[in-house]
Amino acid sequence: MAIQSVGVVGAGQMGNGIAHVFALAGYNVLMTDISQDALDKAMKLVAKNLDRQVKGEKITEAEKDAALGRIATTLTLTDLGKCDLIIEAATEKEAVKSKIFEELLPHLKPETILTSNTSSISITRLASRTDRPEKFMGFHFMNPVPIMQLVELIRGIATDEETYNTLLEVVENIGKTAATAEDFPAFIVNRILIPMINEAVYTLYEGVGSVKSIDQSMKLGANWPMGPLELGDFIGLDTCLAIMNVLHDGLADTKYRPCPLLVKYVEAGWLGRKSGRGFYDYSGETPVPTR
Q: Which residues are annotated as a binding site for NAD(+)?
A: 10-15, 33, 92, 97, 119, 143, 274
Catalytic residue check, 190 = yes
One of 122, 152, 230, 248 is an active-site residue; which one?
A: 152
Cα-based torsion angle of the residue sequence 239, 243, 245, 246 in order, rounded to the nearest 10 degrees:
140
Distant-in-sequence, close-in-space partners of 255: CB < 8 Å, separation ≥ 6 = 195
> How many Cβ atoms from other residues are within 10 Å of residue 259's Cβ?
21
- Catalytic residue selected from 49, 119, 120, 198: 119
What are the strands of the beta sheet with 5-9, ordered from one edge? 71-74, 28-32, 5-9, 85-88, 113-116, 136-141, 150-155, 177-182
Residues 219 and 229: beta-carbon distance below 8 Å: no
Nearest by Cα to 86 from 9, 161, 193: 9
Which segments are annotated as binding site?
A: 10-15, 33, 92, 97, 119, 143, 274
97 within 8 A of 121, measured Cβ to Cβ = yes
Measured CA to CA, the distance from residue 170 to residue 123 in angstroms comes to: 19
Which ranges of the chain would DSSP assign to H, the alpha helix?
Answer: 13-24, 36-55, 61-69, 94-104, 123-128, 161-173, 189-205, 211-221, 228-235, 237-251, 260-267
Active site residue 119: yes
Q: What is the DSSP letter of 259?
A: P
Cα–Cα distance for residue pair 226/216, rounded to 1 Å: 9
Catalytic annotation, pick one of 5, 16, 117, 190 = 190
**Measured distance CA(26)–CA(43) in Å, rounded:** 17
Catalytic residue among 117, 140, 230, 248: 140
Calculate the CA 260 to chain-centre distance.
25
Write phi, then psi, for 220 (nearest 5 degrees). Answer: -90, -25
Known catalytic residues? 119, 140, 152, 190
